[in-house]
Amino acid sequence: MDKFREIKRILIITLFFNWLVAFSKLIYGLITKSAAMTADGVHSFADGASNIIGLVGIWAASKPIDEDHPYGHKKYETIATLGISVMLFLASFDIIKGSFLRLFHPVVPDVNAFSFSLMAVAFLINIIVMRYEYKKGRQLSSDVLVCDSIHTKSDMFVSSAVIVTLISTKLGLPIIDTVVAFIIGVLIAKTGFDILKKSSDVLCDGEAVEKAKIARVVSGVFGVKAIHKIRTRGREDDVHVDLHVAVNTSMHVDAAHELSHRISDTLKEKIPGITDVIVHIEPSQYK
């Protein structure tokens, strides 16, 4: 439970900074009629909205194990990352649509020292938030924090692209503002796809740990003759493993039972994140 409280605290902190940056960009972008600045503001606002989705997901994931959910509720956090990807796709569509409309109704944005300063400050905030959120996400094995930091990372690169756009506009090439807005939309869509793929792998029981890694650990346990049919699934912090282990045909049932516990304990000790291990014992000649 302490882990989920820490994740909530981090999401609230990032929400504050994301929306501070978002409102600054949106207001200034609309006033100066900068498509790239406005697009970047929409993206930053989506960062904040994704924090809210993450908070809802963490609230659901933090519920304890019950009769209807014997494996717990942790995958609600992974489901929340799907919401983050949807927010990114919606923002991408809106930005790309706006960039095409700007081709037919061009508007020269107003660029000055303040706009450059605003983007520089936003870029710095994005770097700090992204590094902090990603570091904490890895430490806490949190899908939401890691995916949200990837989202923020894309915002960081987008901000650098907008700075280039402002410079180009100052040099008398306002069309680049529209082009960069389109590129921003594509980058956001790609980020959404990357998050969608990562989350889908977890929800659809994709391999969580390499078979070779499991085999190396189990083969070192005394009494194991062979290993096969290794399967893993789950989140990074909640990996479930099942495997078949061949043993000497003369091994007593009690010894085989004790061996299965040693295999389980060894895997949990050697590979962080493994929470459940099912070992099927069979005679070695039938491996």
Please check the confidence at residue 220 and state whether its pLDDT lies above 70: yes
Lowest mean pLDDT among 63-72, 91-100, 218-227: 91-100
For the ranges 81-95, 97-111, 116-130, 247-261, the lowest mean pLDDT is seen at 97-111
The yes-or-no verdict on residue 272 having pLDDT over 80 is yes
Domain ranges of the chain: 2-203, 211-286
Where residue 172 falls (left for φ over 0; alpha for ψ -120 to 50; beta otherwise) is: left
Q: To 10 degrees, the CA torsion angle through 199, 201, 202, 205?
A: 160
CATH 1.20.1510.10 fits 2-203, yes or no: yes
Phi and psi for 280 in degrees, rounded to 5? -100, 115
Helix 175-203 / helix 143-170 crossing angle, nearest 10 deg: 170
pLDDT at res. 287: 44
Side-chain-facing half-sphere of 65: CA atoms under 13 Å = 3
Residue 279, φ and ψ in degrees, nearest 5: -110, 120
Q: In what order do the strands lie in the sheet with 238-247?
A: 226-235, 238-247, 274-283
Residues 148 and 51 sit within 8 Å (Cβ to Cβ): yes
Burial of 22 (0-12, 13-18, 19+ CB in 10 A): buried
Q: How far apart are CA 234 and CA 238, in angstroms?
A: 6
Tell me the H-state helices in the chain: 2-32, 35-61, 75-104, 113-140, 143-170, 175-203, 211-219, 253-270
pLDDT range class, residue 227, cuts 50, 70, 90: very high
Structural fold of domain 211-286: Alpha-Beta Plaits (3.30.70)
pLDDT, tens digit, for every residue of 178-207?
787 788 888 888 888 988 998 899 999 999
Asked whether 152 and 119 are in contact (CB, 8 A), the reply is no
pLDDT at 98: 75
What percent of the chain stands above pLDDT 90? 31
116-120, 198-202, 204-208, 246-250: which range is least confident on average? 116-120
Do 200 and 110 touch, CB atoms closer than 8 A?
Answer: no
